[in-house]
Structure 1
Amino acid sequence: MGGFQRHRRSKLIIANFSGFEADLLRSLAGQLVELLRNEAAVPRDDSADPFEAMFDFSGPTQAPEDPVLARLFPTAYPADEEAAAEFRRFTEGTLRDGKADAAITIIDTLEEAGLPTELAEEGLVIDVELDEPTAETWMRSFTDLRLALATRLGVEEGDEAFWYALPDDDARAQAHDIYEWVGYLQETLVQALTD
């Protein structure tokens, strides 16, 4: 996989994924959606009046206990507990929905490009074509995926030597390789968007 690039004629952002790579991306995005939706502090009532729902500010007021969610939704006002709780109450639900929707966009795009809902067969190549708004959505979701992976792994700035010293068969090394791969995808996507 060579990363993302801008097609010269159509101006679309394109990439080719093996079936394995596309399955892996779909799985990562699906896990992120599950975390965002299953850990929501306040369940949403889909039967509510849509107009009323626009003014429903009954979101969570406490920081999430899960370290990944705490990283994705940091406390806005660490020195002011009341302001932080109010800010979280008014914003976290919408932010969760936006992050989940962005991850769902990755899943939908891969499946629309031909990724089967079952495990992809060997030799399958998925050609992805993104317009700029969809590419920007993928880029935002890559940021969330990388933050989630880094938090779960305990990646810190300047700790590359530790990760590269791990044996190839160490599960942590393999997970770190995935973290770096998502970073590579994000980097090539940013470059394609600026070309």
Structure 2
Amino acid sequence: MGHLREGLLTVARRFESTRRGVTATLDDDERALLAGLLAEVAELLDDGSTPSADPLEALVGIGGPTTPPADPAVARLLPQGAKDDPDAAREFRRLTEKGLRARKREALERARATLARPGAFVLDPDEAHAWLVSLTDVRLVLAERLGLRADDDAELVLAEAASRDPEDPRVWMASVYDFLTWLQESLVSALTSRRGRAAR
């Protein structure tokens, strides 16, 4: 894993499977970085719309927009359905986008709330799922900003970043993306380990 700027995440922790559950120990800099990223993506997903007056629309989250978001990073979080059928894609977005935005923001807020716990914090299954979803969404936003479309792209960007000025913002974003990838892999490994033990 590539180390980040001096003073941040120089000794990154990871998620681990323990007797108590999936745990993580993060220092103050790591918590601050993650909390900021989670909050920023939650803000990107806030479309500023007011709750619907229609009880059915409010309950199931329908009545949303029919066109993709203007920000390509947000559009990547809210992908187009039925790509070969524009009418079906518009209807799919109208019926699902509000609910999807709300669920993603809820996961981001749930994950961020765990960062306020002192010491090593333990995640319950819902919180672990929220972290998985949230790390994916933050990585998708960074990937869009970096122009990443495939795993090979990430390797190229990280190699390019190694030869740039450390103060270049693109180097910072690439390092954060690398860290989040490593952190998410550790969470998947911890959850897989727990499921394996439970199945025995």
**Bigger CA drift: 73-82 or 86-95?**
73-82
Instruction: Determine the structure 2 residue equivalent to 1:98.
Output: 103
Determine if the alignment matches structure 1 residue 4 to structure 2 residue 2: no
Instruction: Determine the structure 2 residue equivalent to 1:175.
Output: 173
Determine if the alignment matches structure 1 residue 80 to structure 2 residue 100: no
Q: Which runs of 5+ in 1 are unaligned?
A: 115-125
Q: What are the residue-to-residue correspondences of 1:60-139 with 2, within 5 Å?
A: 60-111=65-116, 113-114=117-118, 126-139=119-132
Shift in Å at residue 18 of structure 1?
0.8
The structure whose RCO (Cα within 8 Å, separation 6+) is larger is: 1
Q: What are the residue-to-residue correspondences of 1:54-65 with 2, within 5 Å?
A: 54=59, 57-65=62-70
Cα 1:56–1:168 shift into 2, 3 Å: closer
TM-score, scaled to structure 1: 0.84
Cα 1:52–1:64 shift into 2, 3 Å: closer
Shift in Å at residue 49 of structure 1?
6.4
Letter in 1 for 2:179: W
Q: Which runs of 5+ in 2 are unaligned?
A: 1-11, 194-200
Letter in 2 for 1:90: L
Instruction: Determine the structure 1 residue equivalent to 2:33.
Output: 24
Shift in Å at residue 61 of structure 1?
0.3
Partner of 2:165, secondary structure, is coil
Q: Is the 8 A contact 2:161 2:171 kept in 1?
A: yes
Instruction: Determine the structure 1 residue equivalent to 2:51.
Output: 45
Determine if the alignment matches structure 1 residue 13 to structure 2 residue 22: yes
Shift in Å at residue 68 of structure 1?
0.6
Q: How many residue pairs were aligned?
A: 177
Q: Of the candidates 148, 153, 158, which is equivalent to residue 155 of structure 1? A: 148
Q: Distance in 1 between matches of 2:33 and 2:142?
A: 13
Shift in Å at residue 132 of structure 1?
2.1
TM-score, scaled to structure 2: 0.82
Letter in 1 for 2:182: Y
